Structure 1
Amino acid sequence: MAGRRIFCSFSGGESSAEMTLRVKRALRPNDELLVMFANTGQEDERTLVFVDRCDREFDLNVVWVEAVINPEHRQVTTHRVVTFETATRDKSLFEAMIRKYGIPNQNYPHCTRELKLRPMASYLASMGWTAGSYITAIGIRADEIDRIDGEARAKGFEYPLARAGIRKRDVHAAWDARPFQLGLREHEGNCRWCWKKSPRKHLTLITEQPSVYDVPRYFERTYPHAGAGDGPRVFFRGGRSTDDLFALAAQPFEPFVDMRGKGQMEFGFAAPAFDADLDLGGSCGESCEPYGDERSPTLEAAE
């Protein structure tokens, strides 16, 4: 009897890892499991270490892929297979993408499409996993229900954590009981300067690690008019540039507080009052789940 083909999109976060472990434990005889991580070159090194450790500890056989951007018009992005040791750790992958498509932001959210979705789709196709022949398992939790794709059934998407009622606190408890964790604070995130983060997270990180923002500042100064549409483009929410964020960070503000393991009312750890201008953000926290991205970028057209 033929088994199922199950593709786990492992984003490098603890929720995604927990989902992958649950899927592996629930495999039936003859099922095929393919776990893949798409590296962008801008992940925190702790993300790469975590993916590698999970792979070795839990025998996941993670496939590491990176984007191969074809600079020609209407030629689609493909993939190359790398390893923990050979994975890109510089800005070159992002730079190739920006040269062709321009700076990504809320209006042009193509970084997920080009650096994660298309390389993974290219690898799946190379293995004969055609659309409709496999299930895509995605690490979105029950407290992220708004991120579930409205066309999930038609697309073959499954959400094991959400279906099991697993929330962030449950994921934290599971990993706290294990001998290793991701080790990132929420405002750091897997992708170090991801534009989807709330401004408060960015301002907090700027005060702690300003050099993280050297890369987006370089791109904004070097490629402001790359890609379609009117320029100059900038990365961050509210039409803010990297320099705008640094100017805001120089003004008084309440920093983001990572509440993991802390009670909301514990002295010294109360979260700042919600501010729409500072706290509205995307899903980016501990991880960036490519199949839970804002505006659900599609793969159909090469640009």
Structure 2
Amino acid sequence: MSNPYLIQGPALISFSGGRTSAYMLYQIIQAHGGILPDDIVVCFANTGKEREETLRFVHECGIRWNVKIHWLEYRIGEVGFEEVGFNSASRNGEPFTALIDKKGYLPNAVTRFCTSELKVRPMKKFCLSMNWTHWKNVIGLRYDEGHRVLKQLANNDARKERWTSVMPMAKAKHTKRGHVLPYWLGKNVDPINLTSPLPQGFDLGLRDLEGNCDLCMLKSRGSLKRLIRDNPGMADWWKDREASITMKSTRATAAGCRFVTEYSYSALEKEVSTQPFMPGLLEDDEDFDAECGLHCAGEAA
């Protein structure tokens, strides 16, 4: 049987910055003898709201594996993106802020334009800048994510994009519990409080709920409150963006003035500050489908 990780170019490897996509990237590099062909590129799209741990992890993967990772950020204009690096990457939500200011309203769980504009489109523009007309889009969907795999296969059949999605992890039947977590964490259960050496010598260093943009609206209410409690000041950017969008905007509806229709981030922070902390108790622990179009680290793994 042929190796699913032996990808034929032209191909773009979408690196979300999570453990799963990093595992996939390493397997692809090894399948090609340690060096990727010139027509296979790796891209990481930075919104400016990724955790610093994610940025360090992406940088370290590139250094340790000797692979060029193109760091892309959304820019207004015909080009549509700018290539940055670990040191110059935005860390205060600048690309995200620029997009919201341009739109005049906020993304939410239904209208996730943040994903399409900040992740998908810059990668597409990058491929077009190389004069590619059609390419493979290699994404880290595992075998244990069957419904997402089927959704991507349906999108391939629709032939609406310039790319065809390829999912080597699903084809290889690689899963989170059986392959990804043991590869990175070994016998460790908690990635923060390690009890034994890390198999690869480094790791993302985030728990599942901490992945993705730091306070992504697709996280559950309980997860958001826990993150706000553990990280004072983390809600500031989100509160400021909600405050910047008012009903005076001709393009903003009531839903467009909040990231989450049911509550504001300001109200959420107030709840955290006024309610007693009860360890181990969250209002809900079921997150939304936070894959964000498969280009974000919806979960740390």
TM-score in terms of structure 1 length: 0.78
Give the secondary structure class of the aligned counterpart of 1:37. Answer: strand
Matched, 1:282 2:283: no
Worse-superposed segment, 29-38 or 86-95: 29-38
Indicate conservation of the 8 Å contact 1:203/1:246, yes or no: yes
Q: Check whether the contact 2:16–2:296 (CA below 8 A) recurs between aligned residues.
A: no
Structure 2: distance between partners of 1:119 and 1:80 = 8
List per-residue Cα deviations over 1:257-281 (Å, max 9, x = no partner). xxxxxxxxxxxxxxx69x7x55241
Select between 103-112 and 147-156 the one with higher mean Cα deviation.
147-156
Distance 1:124 1:227 in 2: 35
User: Out of 106, 109, 113, which is 1:110 matched to?
Assistant: 113
SS at match of 1:42: coil
Does 204-213 or 22-31 show the bigger shift? 22-31
Say if 1:200 and 1:255, in contact at 8 Å, map to a contact too: no
Residue 31 (structure 1) shift:
7.0
Counterpart of 2:10 (choices 1, 5, 8) is 5
Query: Quick one: which of 201, 208, 214 aligns to 2:223?
Result: 201
Aligned-partner Cα distance in 2 for 1:80–1:100: 17
User: Could you say if the C-alpha distance between residues 289 and 224 of structure 1 is closer, same or farther in structure 2, counting changes exceeding 3 Å?
Assistant: farther
Residue aligning to 1:88 = 90
After TM superposition, the structure 1 = structure 2 runs for residues 97-246 of structure 1, keeping only pairs within 5 Å, are 97-101=99-103, 102-130=105-133, 132=134, 134-148=135-149, 149=152, 150-152=154-156, 154=159, 155-169=163-177, 170-176=179-185, 177-225=199-247, 228-231=251-254, 233-236=257-260, 238-246=261-269
1:46 pairs with one of 39, 43, 53: 53
What RMSD over aligned residues (CA atoms) do the two structures have, in Å? Answer: 2.7
CA 138–30 in structure 1, closer or farther in 2 if over 3 Å, else same: closer
Cα displacement string for residues 54-82 of structure 1 (whole angstroms, at most 9, x for unaligned residues):
00111221111111124xxxxx6711111
Amino acid at match of 1:67: Y
Cα deviation, 1:181-231, whole Å, max 9, x if unaligned, reads 000111111311111111121111121113111100000011234573523
| Equivalent AA in structure 2 for residue 233 of structure 1 | C
Q: Quick check: 2:17–2:296 contact (8 Å CA) kept in 1?
A: no
Instruction: Note the C-alpha offset of 1:251.
Output: 4.0
1:3-37, Cα deviation, whole Å (9 max, x unpaired): 53221000111101111111222238967310001
Instruction: In structure 2, list runs of 5 or more residues that go unmatched.
Output: 1-7, 186-198
Query: C-alpha deviations, 1:156-189, integer Å up to 9, x for none?
Result: 1111112222222221111122110000111111
Matched, 1:55 2:77: no
CA contact (8 A) 1:197 1:281 kept: yes
Q: Separation in 2 of the partners of 1:214 and 1:67?
A: 22
Q: Amino acid of the residue matched to residue 175 of structure 1?
A: W
In structure 1, how many angstroms separate the alpha carbons of the residues matched to 2:50 and 2:132?
A: 27
SS in 2 for 1:187: helix
> Tell me, which stretches of 5 or more residues in structure 1 are unaligned?
71-75, 257-271, 294-303
Identity of aligned residues (%): 33
Conservation of the 8 A alpha-carbon contact between 2:212 and 2:297: no
Give, in whole Å, the separation in 2 of the partners of 1:289 and 1:197. Answer: 15
